[in-house]
Amino acid sequence: MSTDFIDLEAFVYRSLLCTLIGLASMGANAIEYQLPSDGSKLVGAVEYYQVPENEKESIADIANHFDVGFLAVMEANKGVDPFLPEPGTMLTIPTQLILPDVEHEGIVINLAELRLYYFPPDKDSVYVFPIGIGRIGRETPVMTTSISQKIVGPTWTPTANIRKEYREERGIELPAVIPAGPDNPLGEYAMRLAHSRGEYLIHGTNKDFGIGMRVSSGCIRMNPWDIEWLFPQIPKGTKVRVINQPLKETREPDGSLYVEVHQPLSKSESEAGHAKVVKPSNALVNAVERDNQAISRLSQALQSQDGVPVVID
């Protein structure tokens, strides 16, 4: 399947979920990055992975192995078959990143990059996790809030709209309450956000797909092994900021200028399948306006939207 340009959200809706059901999760440890002490916002390093011969590994398998998001790997490797990448292909693993332009405290969720950042209060480090977020029509909202409740073995009480959706679109009659256990889509751990009526959770999953994608009804979904690690680290009252920054930038201590550009989230079904423009800030435009090579590199980054930091100046 060619993905030289692909709206990755639309791709998910077409066929991916059916294929990923039943994949075995490989598991990984939380990715910890040391926070630079010199004012830098660039952390980590890009990794590379060569698809082995005689093994049937999907991009989802590889993403799980490195504990990065499925769509993040697809963004960084456009044109690669997501189901059976060709043996010998050298994949870029997006394990270098620019920290979001927000206070580095508590939990920060950047919807555009489908990542959750946890900044522990007593360490000069940040932990980064892939997440699933709300699909088109069930978007996860931008918010500043806090953790209001922590639940081990959560029950799921689907809303009337969700039950109607399951009934009409999937032919499934959901019960009013699904108890804790292997059939519960919230997984083994959940943390409730104080925003609105408390309907949004950060939770695990009982599925082997959906992390690093837009597939939820608005909640933030994590790999089971990730939320198992994160849950005991987070006290009730921890600050949570949900932002939407498809373009991140940093002027590094050595003077170099980096950008990291992600595909913007579609706001409607009509937008899905079409390229979306990322507009640079005036400050970024002014920083490169007298350098034709920097302008060209910035233009290429804004167009390719591969989610990997690139130096433009």
Give tens-digit pLDDT for 56-83.
Answer: 899 999 999 999 999 999 999 999 999 9
Would you state the pLDDT for residue 273? 73
pLDDT for position 8: 53
Reported as a single tens digit per residue, the pLDDT across 193-213 is 999 999 999 999 998 778 999
The percent of residues above 90 in pLDDT, for the chain, comes to 80
* Mean pLDDT of all residues in 262-281: 88
Residue 124 carries which side chain, given as an amino acid letter?
A: D
pTM of the complete model beyond 0.85: yes
Q: Which two tokens stand for residue 220?
A: 């933030």
Output the pLDDT for position 312. 97
Q: Is 18 among the catalytic positions?
A: no
Burial group, residue 129, by CB count within 10 angstroms (0-12, 13-18, 19+): buried
- Selection from 253, 239, 255 nearest residue 287 by Cα: 255
pLDDT beyond 60 at 2: no
pLDDT for residue 231: 98
Q: Where are the domains of the chain?
A: 247-311
The residue with greater pLDDT, 196 or 271, is 196
Candidate list 18, 219, 262, 274, residue with the active-site label: 219
- Top pLDDT among 194 and 270 is at 194
Answer whether residue 30 shows pLDDT above 60.
yes
283: three-class secondary structure by DSSP = helix
Strands (E), 218-299: 220-222, 239-243, 247-251, 257-261
Catalytic residue among 65, 203, 262, 274: 203
Nearest to 40, CA basis, from 254, 301, 259: 254
Segments in 197-291 forming alpha helices (H): 224-230, 282-288
The secondary structure of 52-75 as a DSSP string is PTT----HHHHHHHHT--HHHHHH
For residue 312, give every residue at least 6 positions away whose Cβ sits within 8 Å of its Cβ, in sequence order, or none: 257, 258, 259, 288, 294, 297, 298, 301
Query: Is 65 among the catalytic positions?
Result: no
